[in-house]
Each structure stands twice: as C-alpha cells, then as structure tokens.
Amino acid sequence: MKRLLLCSLVVLLAGTAFARWVLIPTEKLLTETDLVVVARLSDVTRTTKKDVDHGSGILTVSEVLKGPATPGQKLTLEWANQQRISRRIDHADQSGKTNIWLLQKTTNGTFTANYPGRVLDLEQREEVRNLLKKR
C-alpha cells in the first residue's frame, strides 16, 4: 500500500514539474557561435508539421560583431520545437525588434539561435564586444 501511495505521489508531482533552461554563460555561447550581429527580425512565419512547430524570419543586419556578414545583409533565421514541450524557442515575439543575435549556421545555409541567451538586448553590446576581444 505504501508503494502504491508513493508511486501515485510521484506521478502527481511529475505532472506539476516544469523545465528550465540550464544557464550557459555568454562567453561559452560565443565559442559555439558562427556569427554575431545586431539585426532586426521581420517577416516571421509559423507552421506546424507532424507535431513540430516551425518558425522562420528574416534578420536584417545593421552591425557585424563577429563573422562573415555585412550591414544590410538579410539572413534567414529558423527554429523548431516539438509540440507540448515546455522549454521552447520562439522568436516571433522579437519581430520588429533590433537585438544582438548569436547565430549558428545550419547545413542548409540558414541560421539558428536555439537558446534564450543567443538573443541579447542592445544594452549588452559592450559586454559582447569585450568578451569577443578576450578570445
């Protein structure tokens, strides 16, 4: 009986648990980043295919902090999440905003920013520049 009660309690508590992102310092993220740009996100689209939510948008570069890009260049940003997963990346809320983007290039030539710390406020520009100088 105790075992049944304990198992029931574990199941109930598991349903109320929630996931959190593990904190990865910006310095570490920069070592795994192909391109760091100040850019504005636009033309965001979302679709769902086979229980996966897909999103994409266009980043218009205004400043390059690291990597091969030029101001005015347009980059395709893509993201995807399994449905019903609590830890999600969805950049749609950044549409129309200019941010610092720590991008990884995909094999198809698009870019991803698949961790919350890969999209930074403009106020962090000097911090990012200083971290890049250390490398």
User: Hey, what domains does the chain have and what are their CATH numbers?
Assistant: 22-134 (2.40.50.120)
Return d(Cα 45, Cα 37) in angstroms, integer: 21
DSSP states of 3-71 as a string? HHHHHHHHHHHHHH----PPP--HHHHHHT-SEEEEEEEEEEEEEEETTEEEEEEEEEEEEEEESS--T
Quote the tokens at residue 64: 């390059």
Quote the tokens at residue 120: 């930074």
pLDDT 10s per residue in the chain (135 long)? 555 444 444 444 444 444 565 778 899 999 999 999 999 999 998 888 888 878 899 999 999 999 999 999 999 999 877 766 655 677 788 999 999 999 999 999 999 998 889 999 999 999 999 999 987
